[in-house]
């Protein structure tokens, strides 16, 4: 059964805790991303862990190898279970991050490949090369992360089948951009429903506004789980 990660993409502690109180254990993980971490800091993780919640810290670390390794150690000490680094940081950075995580264990590292807000045109403009395939770039970056010893990848469900074929069942695939049928895409381009993502090989689903902005977030999250389970 795929696990559901609820993104606490809200601007302050109070709104985050209201969501957590309302959703409770209906979510398997809570994601602390850049917005909440910038507003609340590491206490966001500490307080969620104090409430017994599993935390996915999504900071997409991207810096020189030593700096990223030290950040991984700090996240591990906070009790973060899932942590993102950006694959574009390169092989040396990824290797240093993996080595830091392995010192004591407990924190699984995920490499972000290509953001779900990007399509092939935007990817080509970013890298200065026309005609780039999003899927091929995701696989290329994913292979570098796997070879560096990371535990999993963050990628759209559109690329999940290829990643599963390339890297096998042990590689964790975390898929953002999850939308309920008929829901808006917001600023993401490569999105899927929960059932579609699971059917394509996703292990964990990251759901944000489809749940947190719903009139009834608890029922919306239950619908996500029903759709994922049916797949």
Cβ pair 115, 137 in contact under 8 A: no
- Residue written as tokens 């004591």? 104
How confident is the model at residue 50, as a pLDDT? 97
Q: What is the CATH number for 219? A: 3.20.20.70
Q: CA 154: distance to chain centroid?
A: 5
Percentage of the chain surpassing pLDDT 70?
94
**pLDDT higher than threshold 60 for residue 185:** no
Q: List, for residues 92-139, the tens digit of each pLDDT value.
A: 999 999 999 999 989 999 999 988 788 888 888 888 888 788 899 999
* DSSP-assigned beta bridge partners for residue 154: 112, 174
**pLDDT higher than threshold 90 for residue 35:** yes
Range of the domain at 133: 3-230
Cβ pair 45, 71 in contact under 8 A: no
Active site residues: 60
Mean of the per-residue pLDDT values of the chain:
91
Q: What is d(CA 28, CA 55) in angstroms, rounded to the nearest whole number?
A: 9
Cβ pair 173, 202 in contact under 8 A: yes
**pLDDT higher than threshold 50 for residue 151:** yes
Give the total number of structural domains in the chain: 1
Cβ pair 114, 175 in contact under 8 A: no
pTM metric for this prediction: 0.92
57: left (phi over 0), alpha (psi -120 to 50) or beta: beta
């Amino acid at each position: 059964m795929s696990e559901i990660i609820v993104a606490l993409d809200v601007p302050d502690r109070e709104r985050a805790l209201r969501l957590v109180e309302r959703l409770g254990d209906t979510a398997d993980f809570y994601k602390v991303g850049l917005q909440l971490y910038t507003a609340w800091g590491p206490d966001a993780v500490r307080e969620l862990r104090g409430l017994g919640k599993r935390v996915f810290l999504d900071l997409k670390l991207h810096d020189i190898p030593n700096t990223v390794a030290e950040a991984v150690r700090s996240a591990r000490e906070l009790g973060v279970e899932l942590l993102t680094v950006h694959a574009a940081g390169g092989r040396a950075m990824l290797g240093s991050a993996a080595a830091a995580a392995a010192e004591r264990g407990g924190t699984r590292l995920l490499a972000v490949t290509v953001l779900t807000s990007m399509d092939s045109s935007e990817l080509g403009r970013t890298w200065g090369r026309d005609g780039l395939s999003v899927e091929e770039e995701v696989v290329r970056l994913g292979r570098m992360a796997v070879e560096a010893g990371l535990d999993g990848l963050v990628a759209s469900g559109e690329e999940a089948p290829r990643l599963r074929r390339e890297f096998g069942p042990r590689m964790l695939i975390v898929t953002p951009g999850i939308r309920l049928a008929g829901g808006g895409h917001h600023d993401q381009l490569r999105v899927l429903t929960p059932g579609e993502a699971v059917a394509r090989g996703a292990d964990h689903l990251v759901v944000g506004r489809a749940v947190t902005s719903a009139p009834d977030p608890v029922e919306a999250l239950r619908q996500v789980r029903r759709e994922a389970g049916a797949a």
